[in-house]
A = this chain, B = another copy of it.
Amino acid sequence: MSCRYMAAVSSSLLRSSITLSPFNPLKPPNSIRLIQSSFQLPARQCPRRAMSRVGATHDEEAAARAAATEADSGAPTIFDKIISKEIPSSIVYEDDKVLAFRDINPQAPVHVLVIPKLRDGLTELGKLHFVSRMIPILMAEPRHEDILGHLLHASKIVAEKEGIVDGFRVVINSGASACQSVYHLHLHVLGGRQLKWPPG
């Protein structure tokens, strides 16, 4: 989930009383989709794609920066409810350490997010955070290498399961300028079409 400001609304989502759809357990209820759509911009409104939409671009960047301020709070994100199954998702792969589920706003025929079940400080791959003015915390420390390696290996398993192992891209956004908007580390696995270059 990127460029979508889910982090900015995750706390309000978590406070919301959410009724799950009884008709399709994999489909988010209307209340969730309504909140999400209110905070989403179409992908084509991304920077440099449409110069006439500079206002939207600036809004998007500002919203991503706003989401970034949540990163330091350590607050739960929407992913916590997906992990606990309180919010349903279309799960592709799961083991004791990771969960992989389809992105609700796919950017390719196959678009899956792979996340660690235990965030363990990994709000993002790397950034200098301050718990106070004098105490910096750097994400992705050496102790995280085990889970990082497992996440990449799980991405390959996802590609196999989705039938795209012959061609897929893994993307990790870290920070606002990379369009990260949920501060729980996640890997995007995309495939099923010819991917372009540069990658955003």
Give residues in A with beta carbon < 8 Å to B: 2-3, 43, 46-49, 61, 107-108, 125-128, 138-142, 144-153, 155-156, 159-160, 165-179, 188, 190-191, 193-200
Contacts and interface: CB of A to CB of B under 8 A. Distances in A.
A170 B168 contact: no
Contacts of A156: 125-126, 138-140, 174
Q: Is the interface of A mostly helix, strand, loop or mixed?
A: mixed
Nearest to A142: B153
Contacts of A126: 155-156, 159-160, 165, 168
B142 A145 contact: no
A156 B140 CA distance: 7
Given A169-B172, A169-B200, 10 more contacts: A46-B198, A61-B194, A107-B197, A147-B149, A156-B174, A171-B171, A177-B195, A188-B199, A190-B199, A197-B200
Nearest to A160: B126
Contact of A148 (B152, B167, B174): B152
A153 B160 contact: no
The 6 closest A-B pairs by CB, nearest first: A149-B149, A167-B177, A167-B175, A145-B149, A126-B156, A107-B198
Contacts of A138: 156, 160, 165
A156 B98 CA distance: 21
Contacts of A174: 156, 159, 165, 167-170
15 contacts: A43-B198, A46-B197, A46-B198, A47-B194, A61-B194, A107-B197, A126-B160, A126-B168, A145-B149, A171-B171, A178-B191, A188-B199, A190-B198, A199-B200, A200-B200
A177 B191 CA distance: 8
Nearest to A150: B145
Contacts of A153: 140-142, 144-145, 148
Nearest to A158: B126
